[in-house]
Structures are given as structure tokens and as C-alpha cells.
Amino acid sequence: MANQQSAPVFLNLFRIRFPVGAVTSIAHRISGVLMFSSLPLVIFLLDISLQGPAGFDRALDYLQTGWLRAGSVIIAWSVFHHLFSGIRNLLIDIDCGVSLQQARRSAWLANIAGLSMTLAWLWWIL
């Protein structure tokens, strides 16, 4: 009787081809976490900007830095993607676009719409 020992298998997530619906679902969760974690920064900037004209100018100065511009693009992507992916999920919940082909098409549409709105945001802030 041969003793078979199976060696542990290294699972490389970059070699696995996820379907577009899975990528959209994972990105939806990531965008939700990014939006939630950006709340302190957004609340801080809102608080500064509401202190008067000098506070508003200070908040604008903060937003002109390179780090916060890059951060605003990331936050914009998370908001736009979360919005479009959430609408997709709500439509699927009411049995709209449940078939495989429609679900794939709506996932692609949510990904492309979120990315295109983010690019529009990037063009607007530059």
C-alpha cells in the first residue's frame, strides 16, 4: 500500500480568471470600504469649509495638494462604481437582468460606467 502525501498547492490569485460578475462584486465591496474609510477626511474638509470664507479657502488649498487630488480620484471611483454596481444589484434583486448574458452585460456596464465617470472626474479636476 503506497502512502500518498499531497503537497500543499500554491494558489496564485493572479492566474485565476474570475468572471466579470465576480470582479464587479469584489470591486463593489472594495469601493464600499474605501468610501467608509474616507469619511473622516471628507468630514474634516467639510468642517473646515463651513467655518467661513477663510476656512473654505483653506479647504481648497488642502484639495490642491497632489496627495488629496489622487485621493479624490480614488474616492470618486469608489463612489461611482459603488453607485452603478449598487443599481445593478438592486435591479437583479427585482429579477431584472438575471439571465447569465444580461448579468454579464450589466456587470461590464457598471465597470465601464464607473471608470468613465472617474475619468471625467479626473479631467474635470485637472
pLDDT tens digits, residue range 32-60? 999 999 999 999 999 999 999 999 999 99
Written in H, E and C, the secondary structure of 69-103 is: HHHHHHHHHHHHHHHHHHHHHHHHHCCCCCCHHHH
Is 106 a member of any domain?
yes
Is 10 a member of any domain?
no
Mean pLDDT of the 55-70 span? 93
Judged on CB neighbours under 10 Å (0-12, 13-18, 19+), 29 is: exposed
Is 67 a member of any domain?
yes
Structural domain that includes position 117: 20-125
Q: What does pTM read for this prediction?
A: 0.83
Is 61 a member of any domain?
yes
Cα three-residue angle 101-78-95, rounded to 5 degrees: 30
pLDDT value of position 5: 72
Is 95 a member of any domain?
yes
Is 5 a member of any domain?
no
Total number of domains in the chain: 1
Residue 1: band (very low, low, confident or very high) from pLDDT cuts 50, 70, 90: low
Give the CATH number of the domain where residue 57 resides: 1.20.1300.10
pLDDT tens digits, residue range 96-109? 989 999 999 999 99
Is 12 a member of any domain?
no
Whether 9 contacts 96, CB under 8 Å? no
Name which residue leads in pLDDT, 126 or 25. 25
Is 109 a member of any domain?
yes
